[in-house]
Amino acid sequence: MKRLLILLSLFSLGTLNIYALESTSSASLLTPDQTEEIAQKPMVGAFKVSGNYLWSTKADFKEDGFEDQHSTFEQGVLDLSYIVKSPKRNGIFYGLGYTHTRLKWEQNPSFSKDNFSYLSAGVGGFNSSAVENWVFEGGAQVLLNTNHWSIKDYSLAFFVAKGRYAFRPNMGLHVGALGQFGLQKNQFFPVLGIDYKVNQWAFFCIFPRKVAGEYTFNENWKFALEGKVFRARYRVGKDETESKAIFEYRSAGFGLAATYMIKDRLSADLFTGYKTAGDLKIMNQYGQDADFYKFKGAWYYGGKVSYSF
């Protein structure tokens, strides 16, 4: 089992940077966190509000002629979700969110704007009574650019459909599919993985959604070594140097996190780590003729607060 977990961790880390959703935060309304636990535990509140912020230090570019230039990446997210749960451990959830991304590169040859944002709306559900030992979940989300309200040209959409099979009391197998649409890019990916719990430890190797090892110290504190994805995809305005260009920021890393919890109602996270080298991909308005600007690694920091009521 240990060998399997190690292999899955290495596989997931290696593929996170290529295949994960555009952003772990911009698609945060797709499904609730720990759906199988929500299905099995009494709810402490139908509403949940959360906010998180992530900041990356400057990353120097690798390309010839750009060695003395760098970029920084920041992202903040606010989410409000509402869950309607039935006595049969099934539920429907709704969500609204706001994502703000800041990509700063002073010498950017294609566009000068460095602040971007989406408004998002999501809906989905989960079912743990239809088939014995299975918890099914699914959701869809639409992201609307707050500076350009053209749904056709500036919006993104995501979906996920996944099932968790309780292979053993302390082990779950995950299988499903997820996808994204919009900004000249339609993609589908499989969801495959395993979660395993032993004593106070929990391991998650679920491609491409979660790679982490968590240790629950007591009812209030939890610590983790986790993988984190840095991805954002936006279209710029028509008045930029590259009119209506599409850009995609991509990187991934590993870090440490500490979580403080109060009776499943309030949680606060602090995390830090190092992201590996990545790239900034800039395309024309049709998603073609891409230029890749590769950058070196950098440190990241952030936090998250969630409250259920």
- In angstroms, the CA 167 to CA 104 distance is 46
Domain span at 72:
2-308
pLDDT tens string 145-167: 999 999 999 999 999 999 999 99
Least confident of 56-60, 89-93, 187-191: 89-93
**Contact present, 248 and 233 (Cβ < 8 Å):** yes
Q: φ, ψ for residue 205 (rounded to 5)?
A: -130, 80
Residue 16 pLDDT exceeds 80? no
**Contact present, 125 and 135 (Cβ < 8 Å):** no
Q: What is the pLDDT of residue 4?
A: 44
Number of Cβ atoms within 10 Å of the Cβ of 228: 22
Question: For the chain, where are the E strands, in sequence order?
Answer: 47-60, 70-85, 90-104, 115-127, 134-145, 156-168, 171-181, 187-198, 201-207, 210-216, 221-235, 246-262, 266-275, 278-283, 291-295, 298-308
Q: Is the dihedral of CA 235, 238, 240, 243 positive or negative?
A: positive
> Can you give the CATH number for the domain in which 59 is found?
2.40.160
Q: Total structural domains in the chain? A: 1
Find residue 255's DSSP bridge partners.
Answer: 226, 273
* Largest Cα–Cα separation, the chain: 63
Residue 233 pLDDT exceeds 90? yes
Residue 32 pLDDT exceeds 80? no
Burial class of residue 213 in the structure, from the number of CB atoms within 10 Å of its CB (0-12 exposed, 13-18 middle, 19+ buried): middle
Q: What is the pLDDT of residue 235?
A: 97
Find residue 226's DSSP bridge partners.
Answer: 212, 255
Least confident of 9-18, 86-95, 173-182, 230-239: 9-18
- In angstroms, the CA 272 to CA 262 distance is 22
**Contact present, 268 and 50 (Cβ < 8 Å):** no
